[in-house]
Every structure is written in C-alpha cells, then in structure tokens.
Homo-oligomer: A and B are copies of this chain.
Amino acid sequence: MLIKHATQSDVARVAGTSTAVVSYVVNGGPRPVAKETRKRVLDAIRKTGYRPNTLARALLTGKTSTLGVVVSDLGNPFLSGMVQCLEDEFFTRGYSLFVADSHDDPWREKQIAEMMLSRQVAGLVWYSVDQPPPADLVRDMRGPVVFLNACEPIGGAGHEGRRISVLENERTGTAGLTEELIRRGCRRIGHLGGPQGRINSAERARGWYEALREKSGLDESVFAGREGDTPESSPLYISAPYTHEGGWNAADKFVDLGCDGIVASNEMQAVGILARFNRLGLRIPADISVVALHTTNYAPYTTPALSGMHVDLDGLAHSIADAVFEQKDCSPIIPNAYFSARESCAELRDECR
C-alpha cells in the first residue's frame, strides 16, 4: 500500500487557491497573504496532511540544510560525544546530519566524501586521524568544510572562508598532561601513541617529548641521546591502536620500562591500561600514574577515576555552528580544554602548588 503524499497542488486545490499562495503561507513569504486566505490554506494543509518536500525545495533553492559529519570511529566515546553535541547544536538550527564512520580507512573516506558531495550537503565536518584530507574533496565542496583535528590551519587558494580548521592543539594538550605528571613528581613518563605514521600520533608524541625536554632533572634515558631524534625513537614511546585493547597490551611494556607515569593519547587506551594495571595488582597512582587526552564523562567512573584533558564539546559544536553559518570569520577555532585531576595521578607536590 503505497501512500501518495499530498503536495502543494493538492493543498491548493482543497483551499481553492494557487500553489504560489500555499508556498507563501508555508514559508511566510516572500509575498503577503490575506488573513482569510491563509486560514483556508492552513486548514487545507491539515486536511490533506501536507508536509513540505525538503528534496524539491533544496533542488530549487540549491540549499539543503543538511550537514555531513565524518568520524574515524563512532565506537570511540569522545567522537560519538562530538557527534552528539553537533547534532544537538545543528538540529536546533534546522539542520540534519548525515553521519558516516570512516573506520580510519582512507579508501572509505573517499567513498564517504563522494557520497556527501552527491547528497549536496551544505557543510562538512571532518575528523580523520590522518592529514591532510582528500584534496579534491574540499575543492568540490560548495559549503564550508570543518577540519576537526587540524594540526595547523588548513589553507588553500580560493577557498578562504570555506575551510575552517579546528586546532585541537593535540600537541599542547599532550604537553600539558606531561607537565602535570612532572609536577606531581613522576620521573619516568612514557607515552602511548596512536598508530604509526599518523600525523596526529606524531603531534601528540611531540607534545610529550618536548615537555620532557624542557624539564631538567628527568631521566636522561628518555632520549636516545642524539640531536634530531624523533619522539617515536624514544625508548619510552609505544605505539598502539586507539582502542582498549591497544592500551591493555601496552601496559606491561610500560611496567617493564620502569615508568612511573603514562600519557595515553586517548581515553580508550587509558581505560585498557587501567584495567591491565588493576589486574596486575599495581597501585595507581602510587606505583604509576595514568593520564589521557580527550577524556569523556566516563572518566570519573573508571577505577581509579581517570585524570585527563577534557574538551568542551558543547562549546566547540557551538563555535563550529557559528563558523558554518557566518562564513565571514574563518579564523581557526581553538576549543576550550582543561585538565581534570582525578585519582589516577598523584597529588600535586607541595612545592608546585
């Protein structure tokens, strides 16, 4: 039983007007409608069960009120939280979200980009663990493209105002975490990085490494000893997927390395680490402290409660929406982030307060 939806002409027939008037009533313009006529149209709309067809409107006007959101893993609470905030923010502004999960796969990203373009999304919010994103993607996008985890402003000739970079400052965030551990007395701080060869992994590693460098009195064995060494070549650096399992598997290695502090690049990793340490009977933070980048509202409920760098996702979503709707100001967005100290890292030492 295929239901035929009522169209404007159905409404017009019932109301005894033209389709134009119906359109005026539905959209509140651009021409005025007599009070009496409007009432007849409204009645007809109710009677027929008319509902505007967004597709037809978009085809005609060239605007879709539709946003594309691409993330690398919807199973990551940080990212699903991000999507949730974006949905909330944009829905209230009349926009709907196409959500896609790239599974951190460049080929899939391409497919998704094609899809988003052919669906005429008005804007695109893009979270890829790698940079830069598909080049032609942006070239062909009409509307603004927001790069959620840009390491630096993503420019491009002729695209001013259409590319918006969100500088999550992964580097400074990780550096901040590292400093917090140092201030709490950790002397041998390891870093659990993301998958190999990813720019974002590298950025986070760099933040950790540079924070260590700038502090004197730290265990020299962190550095391989030669100038020009990369963070990844440090003996205290370990690479793992951004998953619980990645953290779990890496945990033992940090123990073997004699670390008394770990900076995880991800809440999921940190959760895996905590689970493993608890299983091993290690005392956190007495034996070893753990902090993570991008913690979520789940962090207070781990055992022990996870300390970490928290991003104000609501505020970020709001800024993104503003940037998308007022395309004039396309300066990079820097989200609010703050360190939440919880049980998983030692108390601040007196001399540092």
A117 contact set on B, CB distance < 8 A: 51
A119 touches B101 (CB 8 A): no
A88 CA to B54 CA in the complex, in Å? Answer: 25
A97 touches B100 (CB 8 A): yes
A317 within 8 A of B: no
Within 8 A of B (CB), among A70-125: 73-75, 77, 80-81, 83-84, 87-88, 91, 96-101, 103, 111-112, 114-115, 117-120
Chain A residues at the B interface, C-beta cutoff of 8 Å: 1-3, 5, 49, 51-56, 58-59, 64, 66, 73-75, 77, 80-81, 83-84, 87-88, 91, 96-101, 103, 111-112, 114-115, 117-120, 140, 142, 158-159, 162, 244, 248, 271-272, 274-275, 278-279, 297-298, 300-303, 305
Known: A275-B305, A301-B248, A303-B278. A119 touches B75 (CB 8 A): no
* Chain B minimum-CB-distance residue to A83: B74
A120 touches B55 (CB 8 A): yes
| Nearest CB of B to A143, in Å | 10
A56 contact set on B, CB distance < 8 A: 59
A59 contact set on B, CB distance < 8 A: 53, 55-56, 59
A103 CA to B2 CA in the complex, in Å? Answer: 32
* Chain B minimum-CB-distance residue to A298: B244
A54 touches B119 (CB 8 A): yes
B100 touches A91 (CB 8 A): yes
Which of A49, A80, A117, A297 is most buried by chain B, counting CB atoms within 10 A of its CB?
A80
A52 touches B278 (CB 8 A): no
A5 touches B142 (CB 8 A): yes
Residue in B5, B81, B271, B279 whose beta carbon sits within 8 Å of that of A75 in the complex: B81
A51 CA to B2 CA in the complex, in Å? Answer: 30
* Chain B minimum-CB-distance residue to A6: B140
A271 contact set on B, CB distance < 8 A: 298, 301
A3 CA to B248 CA in the complex, in Å? Answer: 49
| Nearest CB of B to A57, in Å | 9
| Nearest CB of B to A242, in Å | 13
| Nearest CB of B to A306, in Å | 11
A98 touches B101 (CB 8 A): no
A97 contact set on B, CB distance < 8 A: 98-100
A275 contact set on B, CB distance < 8 A: 300-303, 305
A99 contact set on B, CB distance < 8 A: 83, 87, 97-99
A305 CA to B66 CA in the complex, in Å? Answer: 41
A52 contact set on B, CB distance < 8 A: 118
A2 CA to B142 CA in the complex, in Å? Answer: 7
A84 touches B74 (CB 8 A): yes
* Chain B minimum-CB-distance residue to A115: B96
